[in-house]
Each structure stands twice: as structure tokens, then as C-alpha cells.
């Protein structure tokens, strides 16, 4: 479900992930060119990820994507996702 960003400015995406997927990412997609992508590296234990981006007002989504490639039946767990304004 899309989130509405009422104001533009600096935002941060952070999350934890683990698994054996070799082509997975967490992606922010929004209106007016708001975008960010964080590649998830394969790992047995939980790893922390974060990125900052300049977002514009409007609707956006945060999603997990899998690109083509790698072995079949790859797994990734994503937890503790936070997306918020830094200003």
C-alpha cells in the first residue's frame, strides 16, 4: 500500500536482512523521481542496512524485489523496516 509523503526532503530507509538470495533488493519508488535501491548481500546472520535519499512529496512504496539470476528457491528474510523523515 503506498505511503503519502506530505513533505519533501531527506528520508532514511533502514532494515535488517539475511538469507541466501543473490539478486534481492529493497526498493523505494515514488512520484517525481523519488527512488532508492539497497542490494541485500547473502548472509547467514542478520545484517543491518540503511540509505538516505532526497524524497519529493507524493506517494511512494517500499518493496522487496528479486532480479533474474542465481539459483532456484533462494530465500531472503527482511525485518525491522523503517522509513522516515530525517529533517
Q: What is the pTM of this model?
A: 0.90
| pLDDT above 80: residue 37 | yes
pLDDT in tens, 48-77: 999 999 999 999 999 999 988 777 788 999
- 20 φ/ψ angles, rounded to the nearest 5 degrees: -105, 5
> Could you tell me which of 82, 78, 20 has the C-alpha nearest to residue 50?
82
- 15 φ/ψ angles, rounded to the nearest 5 degrees: -165, 170
Average pLDDT, the chain: 94
Give the model's confidence band at 31: pLDDT under 50 very low, under 70 low, under 90 confident, else very high: confident
Look at residue 44 in the predicted model and tell me its pLDDT.
Answer: 96
pLDDT average, residue stretch 15-42: 95
Amino acid at each position: 500500500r503506498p505511503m503519502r509523503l506530505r513533505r519533501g526532503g531527506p528520508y532514511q530507509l533502514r532494515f535488517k536482512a539475511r538469507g541466501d538470495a543473490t539478486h534481492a533488493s529493497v526498493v523505494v519508488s515514488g512520484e517525481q523521481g523519488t527512488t532508492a535501491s539497497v542490494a541485500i548481500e547473502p548472509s547467514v546472520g542478520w545484517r543491518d542496512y540503511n540509505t538516505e535519499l532526497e524524497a519529493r512529496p507524493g506517494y511512494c512504496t517500499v518493496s522487496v524485489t528479486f532480479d533474474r539470476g542465481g539459483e532456484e528457491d533462494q530465500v531472503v528474510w527482511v525485518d525491522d523496516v523503517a522509513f522516515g523523515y530525517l529533517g
